[in-house]
Structure formats: structure tokens, C-alpha cells
Amino acid sequence: MKRFAIVLLLVAGFIFVAQAGFSTTYILHLNGMCSTKWVDSSSSRLANKSGYVSIDCQVDNRTSISYSASQFKSNYLDVYCKGSNWCYIVNYSAGDVIMGYINANYDPQWNIAYVYTTAGAGGGSEIAWKNISSLFTCQLANNLGVSTVRNMYNHNDTNGITIYHIGGYKGILVSSAILPGEDDGAVAYHSSGACVNSGSYNNLCNCTHWTNHVIAYTCTGYYLDHFGMKMKFIYQLGW
């Protein structure tokens, strides 16, 4: 009888270890407008964190936010972030809108530890206004106007997940004339800083933020333009 009990304990322990062995932590990388993957230039790379598996999410961000959200949900969140697995989401620019749209429109069903957003477009951009978006190379630009994005979904509904934000302030002469306050040439601080109200801000912390949206590292931001910001969160995390 004692031998039988020992065998049962050994079997139970083996099953527990086997199950634990299948638990994986993933870092999902979600790029911005007009992209189809994260690593799209020589200046971008995946996060490198010991013990974590980095995934370059192949999402078509050229058509609409809803289409991109459907792809990211079905092909990545549903595949990598359920069961015993956990995910960290690193997103950039319009990736902020895609992740926000998913959180607001689907019930909590994924194991997401944190979301790290760089130069987020969650508050919209003034340069997607008066047909300026036609200058870009994809239709998704039409989804990123300030009023369009801010009315697209409930930004306060993050499914309880903390969204960390960083932003840049190296503006570009032409676009900075349109964007209010500090900006990175594509989005102003009211967007990259997850501010409830659009407007002119020179500090990422000097506004009321949406629920569970938090400014990371510095309130003043980084002297980088929109393209230069892409990898900044990964560098700050030491990944």
C-alpha cells in the first residue's frame, strides 16, 4: 500500500513538472501604421530577454484598426497568451490603438502581464486631418484622426491590464506646426501620454490619464522623433 502511494506521488509530481514545463512567457511585438511586421528595417529588432520567447507579429496594419485587431487577436493573443502561458505586449504608434481596441471590445481572456507602448497613437493625430492622411501609403491612416480614435472605443477599459507609455519630443518642422504642444513629428503628447483630453501639453504627466494608463521612466519624454522612438521601450527595459 505504501509503495502504491509512493508511485502515485511520483506520477503526480511528474505530471506537475510536465505541465510546468509547457508554461512559456512570450513577448509579442506589434508594429504601427502601414506595417506588416515588427522587424521592418535595419534599426529594429526583437526584444532579447533571457527565458522569454520573442514573437514578431505578422499583422497587416494597412487597412483598418478593426482588421488589424482581428488578426492580432486570432493569430497571436489566442495562440500564445492562454492556458499556462503569459505575454508581454510591446507596441508602437498605431499598435497602441489596436491593443486598446481589443481590450475594450473583448472580455478578459488572455494572460497579459503588461503592455508597453511607445509613441502611442491612442489619442489620435492631428496630421490625419483634412486629407493629410492621403499622403501616407495605406488606408489605416484614415482611422487615426483625433476624434476618430478617441470615439472608436472606451480607452478606460483595459481589461485591468496596466498600459505603460513613453513619448518623444523631437518634432518635425512641418508637422509640428499642426501638432499641439510637444510632439515627435507624428503624435503629440496628448496621444503618446494617454491624456483624457486632447490639447497642448509639454509634459507627459501634466494631464489626466485614462484608467490604468501610466507614464513610464520620465515625464519629460525623450528627444527622439517618431521613427527614432520605436525601439526605445525595449532599450529602457534592457531587453
The CATH number covering residue 34 comes to 3.40.50.1820
Q: Is residue 6 in some structural domain? A: no
Domain assignment present for residue 3? The answer is no
Identify the helix (H) or strand (E) that includes residue 21: helix 2-21
Is 145 within a domain? yes
Full residue range of the structural domain in which residue 112 is found: 23-237
Would residue 12 count as lying in a domain? no
Residue 197 lies in a domain: yes
Asked if residue 55 belongs to a domain, the reply is yes
Hunting for cell 481572456 — which residue is that?
109
Burial of 16 (0-12, 13-18, 19+ CB in 10 A): exposed
In a domain, 84, yes or no: yes
Triad 100, 68, 33: Cα angle to 5°: 85
Q: How far apart are CA 230 and CA 36, in angstroms?
A: 15
Please tell me the predicted confidence (pLDDT) of residue 136.
Answer: 60
The pTM assigned to this predicted structure is 0.89
Residues 230, 219: Cα–Cα separation, whole Å? 18
**Least confident segment among 97-106, 127-136, 210-219:** 127-136
Count the domains in the chain: 1
Percent of the chain whose predicted confidence (pLDDT) is above 90: 83
Residue 31 lies in a domain: yes
Q: Read off the pLDDT of each residue in 175-203 and give the average, rounded to a whole number.
A: 97
